[in-house]
Amino acid sequence: MGDPKKGAGPLEGGRPGKKVTTKVKRVTASTLKAGRTGRNPVHGRELQEMRLQARKMKGGVKSKNSGARKMVVKTATKRILKPLRHVEALEAVRSGLLPQELNILIERGYARAELVRLVGPRSTIERKLSGSIRLDLQESDRLARLSRIIAKAEAVFGNAEKARHWMERPSSRLPRGESPLSLLDTDGGTQVVTERLLQIEHGIFA
């Protein structure tokens, strides 16, 4: 047997002088990916333990439902005030928007009656508001268009209050001197308002 003072390791398999080494497998993103894609596959309980260890290393295991309600509320708020990506907007409109999303715009100071008029027949929209009934395809499309233009105005003016004043104030630069908001009941009017916002954004006020 080797002299312990010279660093001789313990015995393994009866062979003196051979050190027993233990390899510690580090859990990395590439390791887990390899397990999922089939390269150096890791299966069953070992893969689960590796994933659990990786999650713990990032700050602890969290419940799947942790913060779920907060995320839903934040997502709903952002969706009405910020333009969606084309695919997201398409799916949301086809699925039918909730009429309560109008309340987000109402809370920003816009007149309820005018917003309802722009989305659909007053009696229908008020009934859906009270019953939490989803809007149909055309109503959802109008609401999405309305929220998209308001979000653009807020981005251009940098302030929700300034954007609202501009949207509601009649302008000689627009057809028949109407307000930008009143023109959003048609696609053509929406295009006119969009072009005007782009002009203001680029410093063209004439």
Task: pLDDT band for 65, please (50, 70, 90 cuts).
Answer: very low
Q: Are residues 142 and 90 in the same domain?
A: yes
Q: Are residues 94 and 31 in the same domain?
A: no
Provide mean pLDDT across the span 36-57. Answer: 58
Lowest mean pLDDT among 5-9, 76-80, 161-165: 76-80
Q: What is the pTM of this model?
A: 0.57
What is the Cα–Cα distance from 53 to 197, expressed in whole angstroms?
A: 52
Q: Are residues 103 and 140 in the same domain?
A: yes
Res 184: pLDDT: 96
Q: Are residues 175 and 79 in the same domain?
A: yes
Res 166: pLDDT: 96
Beta strands in 35-114 (DSSP E): none
What is the Cα–Cα distance from 40 to 148, expressed in whole angstroms?
A: 48
Res 99: pLDDT: 85
Task: pLDDT band for 132, please (50, 70, 90 cuts).
Answer: confident
The 3-state DSSP class for residue 202 equals coil
Q: Are residues 45 and 128 in the same domain?
A: no
Flag whether 195 is in a domain: yes
Q: Are residues 27 and 108 in the same domain?
A: no
In the listed set 6, 36, 61, which residue is the last one of a domain according to the structure?
A: 61
Q: Are residues 38 and 100 in the same domain?
A: no
Number of domains within the chain: 2
Backbone φ, ψ for residue 108 (5° rounding): -85, 5
Res 204: pLDDT: 80
The boundaries of the domain holding residue 109 are 69-201
